[in-house]
Chain A
Amino acid sequence: MQPSTTKTQAGAPAQTAGKKVLFPDKKVSAKQVKSSGLTNIAGLNSLIIFTVLLLAWISGFASRLFAVIRFESIIHEFDPWFNYRATAYMVEHGFYNFLNWFDERAWYPLGRIVGGTVYPGLMLTSGSIHYILHSLNIPVHIRDICVFLAPVFSGLTAISTYFLTKELWSSGAGLFAACFIAIVPGYISRSVAGSYDNEGIAIFALQITYYLWVKSVKTGSILWATLTALSYFYMVSAWGGYVFIINLIPLHVFALLVMNRFSVRLFTAYTVFYILGLLFSMQIPFVGFQPIRTSEHMAAGGVFCLMFLIGGLKYLRTFMTKAEMKYFGGIVIGITLVFLTVLIGLTYAGFVAPWSGRFYSLWDTGYAKIHIPIIASVSEHQPTTWFSFFFDLHILVTTFPVGLWYCIKHINDERVFVVLYAISAVYFAGVMVRLMLTLTPVVCMLAGIAFSGLLELYLKEEDREESGTNAVEEESDGEQERSPGRALYDKAGKLRRMKHEKPKGNGDGLGANVRNAVVIFVLMLLMMFTVHCTWVTSNAYSSPSIVLASYSNEGGRAILDDFREAYYWLSQNTHTDARVMSWWDYGYQIAGMANRTTLVDNNTWNNSHIALVGKAMSSNESAAYEIMTSLDVDYVLVIFGGMIGYSGDDINKFLWMVRIAEGEHPQDIRESDYFTERGEFRVDSEASPTLLNSLMYKLSYYRFGEVKMDYRSPTGFDRTRNAEIGNKNFQLTYLEEAYTTEHWLVRVYRLASIFFLNLNALKNFTSRKKKGYIKGRPTVVKGQKPQKRASS
């Protein structure tokens, strides 16, 4: 046996920094030594890596299919519906038409220039997959590609995470990280089948960019830097989160400069990346000239200039004396100051846009609530709770600081990067739930490093012992690994075996019992993690949200398909040009499924338009009617969950509508009017009269007062808010009910035309028991019938 050789061989192909190797690889290589000799070690090693990654991909893919299996192959949520619609348009009309697409069905009457306001990476990706498959004569519908795109890319994410972690630490840690990222709920939440959204491919782009960046910092090669820029370009085309990259990488460079770690490699990597990345990012129409106009991108430019200054100084230093350097140092400081002044001046003059509101809200969590209610209204933009940290990351959240500590302890150029990545991502994830997504990969990586380091410590002695284990064990190991199932389970299986073997060897530094205990504990943790991930995925993240499932007492499952029912009704029963008003959440779905014109949708770029809709929803019927006629509304759609107890309905979102409306029309709408005197928001008879007469309230509860859910509760009992509604028997003057779905989830109202309006007004007139009277109405005394005479 040549254990030392084995070790170095196993580590060699991939490693530059780390000398540690995760035990499976080592174990296998050790076995290989025994059976096949040294030449095959590297090959088998990569076979193992390949197998683990493949299994990680498959398991990640499989666990994202809950939604498809439970429901059907359908696009989920809200934004994906727009992405799907845009993709379908692109596939049908070609890319250039797509870029010039003016969508008059959205944001009526404004319309939306889709090509210029969208990140086209997602559509391009699925479009090109569609193109390739069709040129290979595989007729797959574009919808299926869209549905399964995110799971497929999660596999790619796992692979890129592996490579990144390998660059940072070791390939063993990389495998851990790949397995973690494949099943971690924080990432699954955005990449289940059917969740066809930018984030699905953006995380892959993020990871691969970071990998290439680390690689190019290491090698200092123009090629890698160019590739980094190319993958950054892909990221820019896919997600607005690219700003994270373009700030994190300069931060990394800056930190290295501060740590006096300047090198020619760093210079090459950064300058090439920056200048190409800058140019590439401006190719995306939506980004346009922002990279040289907005403050968010200025840090990168500043670091670029700094790089040149330092590079020049270092070069000059090669043939100059100290005194001369001092002279030049003065010049440099002067130039820096001039640059700064010019930048500030440009910002002041308006050539460079100051930080946008969304970015302020990252620094000051209270900012959005005060200034931009529309941003605060999105649930994804809320600050993260501890619960959701744990829910999404489970044990990783507790183990990743260990990995961070390892990295800080053994610091080098690229580990500085991961440390910065971790710290900034943790901060941002704490500010916004949505940014949990950027935290997840780094947590996986660092947790992978932590587990790798831990197990290495505790299994170190095992290697020697193990090399003498019998072949039968190996065979079963191999089988285990190849058998379908979780990559983690495979590992666990392997680990368990090794643990059995442990007693044979006596620990050098650590007692065998301690070692056993720790290993078992770690394995238990990993098991629990796996179980948790599966549970969370199946329960929390696999509902398409346009099809709801409810469970009866017997455990039977009922599908509530109200959304699609309503949208289908709209598409079949309304005029093709009909304009549907709804809260913006449902804009994309109406456009995608019902193919009708909407006023506002999930692309919340025009705050005042949304505020107008919010004002219509929160004012009384006649005021709303004026707004609605001025906006040419034909139908109004509201989501009402009081019948089945669905909490994400419009009444629960109502306060946001009021707030957004108040932001634009403070003289008409006041939030305080919608609370009771004690400052509560309630819908029962104690609710404020403004609320009871608002359009949203009326549309939600129209005719609900007649409904009796069961014999114990009163009529009109709202199950979502557990209250009996306060305004029961009212009539609608300007609107009439057009359609209500089976479970009352979606209610569609038609805006009365003038004719019907008059009719309705008359109806209401009589129904109020105020009869008209005619002046001088004749009083008639009826004549009597004579008694029949018997005789003639």
Chain B
Amino acid sequence: MSNHVISKIWQDYKKITERKTMIIDAYLLYVLITGIIQFIYCCSVGTYPFNSFLSGFISTISCFVLGMCLRLQACNSNGKQFNRYGIEKGFADFIFAQIVLHIVIVNFIG
């Protein structure tokens, strides 16, 4: 059952999703994998410089969240909810948030 469902999802996904969105999805996947590797590191080795670990891990989460939000705005199906903003505005916001995020990450990483 599960195999069936997942493959169905995958096909649906391929069918529905635009290319632009897929680029973002690839980015999201990349961030997700990085985050998972860090999580494995923390579980297996330890979290010792805790702030460094946190800054790394949170930065992946943040990047994922921001990318997700960008994807939501870029997605045509959600266009109604963001009627006043174009994809460019969304991208500008995304860049701004990334800059703010990373200055803090760099500060926190120690």
**Residues on A facing B (Cβ under 8 Å):** 219-223, 225-226, 229-230, 263-265, 267-268, 271-272, 275-276, 278-280, 282-283, 289, 292, 316, 318-320, 324, 327
Contact = CB atoms under 8 A, between A and B. Distances in A.
B108 A319 contact: no
B48 to A, nearest CB: 13
A783 B83 CA distance: 124
14 contacts: A221-B85, A225-B97, A226-B97, A268-B73, A271-B69, A272-B66, A272-B69, A276-B97, A279-B59, A279-B108, A316-B9, A318-B16, A318-B77, A319-B12
A284 B95 CA distance: 24
B91 to A, nearest CB: 10
Contacts, number: 93
Nearest to A222: B93
| Nearest 8 pairs of A and B residues by beta carbon | A222-B93, A319-B12, A223-B93, A268-B69, A226-B97, A271-B65, A275-B62, A264-B81
Contact of B5 (A220, A263, A278, A324): A324
B82 A226 contact: no
B20 interface: no
A691 B53 CA distance: 56
B9 A320 contact: yes
A278 B58 contact: yes
Interface string B8-19: 110011001000
B105 interface: yes
B51 to A, nearest CB: 8
Contacts of A230: 100
B39 interface: no
Given A221-B93, A223-B93, A223-B96, A282 B16 contact: no
A283 B51 CA distance: 10
B89 to A, nearest CB: 8
Contact of A220 (B8, B66, B81): B81
Interface string B47-68: 0001100110011011001101
Interface residues of B, number: 42
B101 A276 contact: yes
B54 A283 contact: no
Contacts of B105: 279
A272 B107 CA distance: 19
B100 A276 contact: yes
Interface in B64-92: 65-66, 68-70, 72-73, 77-78, 81-82, 84-85, 89-90, 92
Contact of A265 (B13, B55, B82): B82
A365 B1 CA distance: 54
Contacts of A265: 81-82
Contact of A222 (B58, B61, B97): B97
Interface of B: 1-2, 5, 8-9, 12-13, 16, 50-51, 54-55, 58-59, 61-62, 65-66, 68-70, 72-73, 77-78, 81-82, 84-85, 89-90, 92-94, 96-97, 100-101, 104-105, 107-108
Given A220-B82, A272-B66, A289 B54 contact: yes
A278 B97 CA distance: 14
Contacts of B73: 220, 222, 268
B35 to A, nearest CB: 12
Contacts of A316: 9
A319 B58 contact: no
A219 B77 contact: no
B54 A282 contact: yes
B5 A222 contact: no
Given A265-B82, A327-B5, A222 B104 contact: no
Contacts of A222: 66, 69-70, 73, 90, 93-94, 96-97
Contact of B16 (A225, A289, A319): A319
A324 to B, nearest CB: 6
Nearest to B90: A222
Contacts of A272: 65-66, 69, 97
A225 B100 CA distance: 12
A304 to B, nearest CB: 9
Given A222-B69, A272-B65, 14 more contacts: A223-B93, A229-B100, A230-B100, A271-B69, A276-B62, A279-B59, A279-B108, A280-B104, A282-B54, A282-B108, A292-B54, A319-B9, A324-B8, A327-B1
A335 to B, nearest CB: 15
B72 A279 contact: no
A219 B84 contact: yes
A280 B62 CA distance: 12
Contacts of B82: 220-221, 264-265
B9 A283 contact: no
Contacts of A280: 104
Given A220-B82, A264-B78, A319-B9, A279 B68 contact: no
Contacts of A223: 92-93, 96-97
Contact of A283 (B5, B72, B96, B108): B108
B100 to A, nearest CB: 6
Contacts of B8: 320, 324
